[in-house]
Amino acid sequence: EPEVTQTPSHQVTQMGQEVILRCVPISNHLYFYWYRQILGQKVEFLVSFYNNEISEKSEIFDDQFSVERPDGSNFTLKIRSTKLEDSAMYFCASSSTDLGYTFGSGTRLTVV
């Protein structure tokens, strides 16, 4: 069964450093998303991406965040200057239509 692959599974970074979280969506999917879940809290939407541009983003997705699909297969989330409160599980998802998603297994980001 096709999978959404996320790397790394766990990233530890110092506050103020830049991190790039990587995702390989399912190959024929057209819609791509990032979500995050801070420990013990709800899953939060960050951004959706379609046709090589951001289609929607939440309040959380401020200027510190950016997404890119650099080579037609990878979908990356960059956080320019990490803060302690960015520590969370980050989930990538993709879908072929607007009905339901396939999620990756997540990247746990720990900012120290």
Partner 1 sequence: DQQVKQNSPSLSVQEGRISILNCDYTNSMFDYFLWYKKYPAEGPTFLISISSIKDKNEDGRFTVFLNKSAKHLSLHIVPSQPGDSAVYFCAASARNTGNQFYFGTGTSLTVIP
DSSP E strand stretches across 1-112: 5-7, 10-13, 19-24, 31-37, 43-50, 53-57, 65-68, 75-79, 88-95, 102-103, 107-111
With CB under 8 A, what is the number of residues at the site for partner 1? Answer: 28
The reply on whether position 104 binds partner 1 by CB under 8 A is yes
The reply on whether position 56 binds partner 1 by CB under 8 A is yes
The reply on whether position 106 binds partner 1 by CB under 8 A is yes
How far apart CA 8 and CA 28 sit, in angstroms, is 23
Q: Least separation, in Å, of the C-beta of 72 and partner 1?
A: 20
Listed ranges 11-19, 48-56, 69-77, 78-86: which one lies at the site for partner 1 (CB under 8 A):
48-56
Decide: 23 and 105 in contact? Cβ < 8 Å: no
Q: Least separation, in Å, of the C-beta of 66 and partner 1?
A: 19
The reply on whether position 42 binds partner 1 by CB under 8 A is yes
The reply on whether position 65 binds partner 1 by CB under 8 A is no
Decide: 48 and 33 in contact? Cβ < 8 Å: yes
Counting every residue, how long is the chain? 112
Decide: 106 and 10 in contact? Cβ < 8 Å: no
Interface positions with partner 1 (CB under 8 A): 4, 6, 31, 33, 35, 41-45, 48, 50, 55-56, 58, 91, 93, 95, 98-106, 108
